[in-house]
């Protein structure tokens, strides 16, 4: 592979790119890889989760612009490119029974039609590797599940010149991964590591909830060493200040302990058109030098 390597990360909302695979992206940027974040929605219906900003009338009235500005800041921190697919946040429905999704939102789009928007971006950027969410969305937010659906269609369709001919010249990505950073082995290791050091763990409730819901184990195939970029990841995450409380649970594990106990970010290889050996430590395994 004499061409510059290119990675596309497909995410549902602004801030997802900073909470899922951000250290990996920063690592690859440092190595000269061209990295593009495709953000499906503007995050307009996301709740203001930072208690310090709740009730701010300006933010509530201009949430779309605020979240776009936060995305710009995070993009600069990570060193990536970023494009909006232009869909409207579906929100996370709550209640029993669940209310209907808002008219016109991302999750109610025709999958094939929405995939065409992503196909166009794939053909323009020409990524060798794409990361996205699994069929459960990582967690069952309707926008995350829709992101999975259009990513799967677009991965196959982008390389087929008969599909979406109006979207540009065909380009076939070579590998597709699911983000699996919130996995049980990592959570257990950090939980037990904190307790062994006499420190409080924020993960006890997480592990109990996993037991209650009998969360299925995912197959972790790829462990990207990126501990040197954890600080950049956290800085990018904090840039999404309407979503992230800098004093909240994301940052309760001391950085030195994170780096010592679990210095990688994890992925599940979902599709590969190249030969590779599992487990991997590189999203471009089987692509480099081919």
Q: What residues are designated binding site for Zn(2+)?
A: 13, 16, 144
- Going by the annotation, the residues of the binding site are 13, 16, 144
Coil, helix or strand at residue 13: coil
Task: State the Cα–Cα distance between residues 168 and 165, nearest whole angstrom.
Answer: 6
Question: Which helix (H) or strand (E) covers residue 148, if one does?
Answer: helix 142-157
Q: Is there a contact between 47 and 68 (Cβ–Cβ < 8 Å)?
A: no
* Sequence-ordered list of residues with C-beta below 8 angstroms from that of 6, at least 6 positions apart, any chain: 33, 34, 35, 36, 125, 126, 127, 128, 129
Question: Strand ranges (DSSP E) for 168-258?
Answer: 175-179, 222-225
Instruction: Spell out the long-range contacts of 182-188 with Cβ–Cβ below 8 A and sequence spacing 24 or more.
Output: 182/138, 183/218, 183/220, 183/266, 184/210, 184/215, 184/217, 185/220, 186/262, 186/266
- The C-alpha angle with vertex 106 and arms to 123 and 81, in degrees rounded to 5, equals 40
Closest CA to 87 of 161, 142, 127, 133: 142
Closest CA to 29 of 77, 88, 65, 64: 77
Cα 63–chain centre separation: 21
Cα 143–chain centre separation: 12
């Amino acid at each position: 592979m004499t061409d510059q390597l290119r990675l596309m990360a497909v995410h549902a909302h602004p801030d997802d790119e900073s909470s899922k695979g951000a250290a990996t992206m920063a690592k690859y940027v440092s190595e000269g890889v061209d990295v593009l974040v495709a953000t499906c929605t503007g995050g307009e219906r996301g709740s203001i989760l930072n208690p310090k900003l709740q009730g701010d009338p300006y933010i509530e009235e201009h949430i779309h612009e605020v979240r776009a500005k936060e995305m710009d800041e995070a993009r600069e921190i990570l060193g990536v490119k970023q494009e909006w697919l232009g869909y409207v946040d579906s929100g996370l429905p709550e209640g029993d029974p669940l209310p209907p999704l808002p008219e016109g939102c991302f999750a109610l789009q025709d999958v094939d039609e929405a995939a065409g928007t992503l196909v166009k971006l794939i053909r323009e950027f020409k990524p060798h590797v794409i990361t996205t969410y699994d069929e459960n969305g990582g967690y069952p937010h309707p926008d995350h599940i829709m992101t999975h659906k259009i990513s799967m269609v677009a991965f196959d369709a982008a390389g087929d010149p008969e599909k979406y001919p109006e979207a540009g010249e065909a380009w076939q990505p070579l590998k597709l991964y699911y983000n699996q950073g919130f996995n049980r082995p990592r959570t257990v290791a950090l939980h037990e590591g904190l307790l062994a050091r006499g420190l409080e763990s924020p993960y006890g409730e997480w592990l109990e909830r996993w037991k209650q819901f009998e969360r299925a184990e995912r197959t972790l195939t790829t462990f990207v060493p990126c501990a040197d970029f954890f600080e950049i990841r956290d800085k990018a995450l904090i840039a999404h200040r309407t979503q992230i409380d800098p004093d909240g649970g994301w940052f309760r594990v001391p950085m030195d302990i994170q780096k010592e106990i679990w210095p990688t970010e994890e992925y599940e290889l979902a599709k590969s058109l190249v030969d590779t050996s599992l487990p991997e430590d590189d999203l471009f395994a089987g692509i480099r030098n081919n």
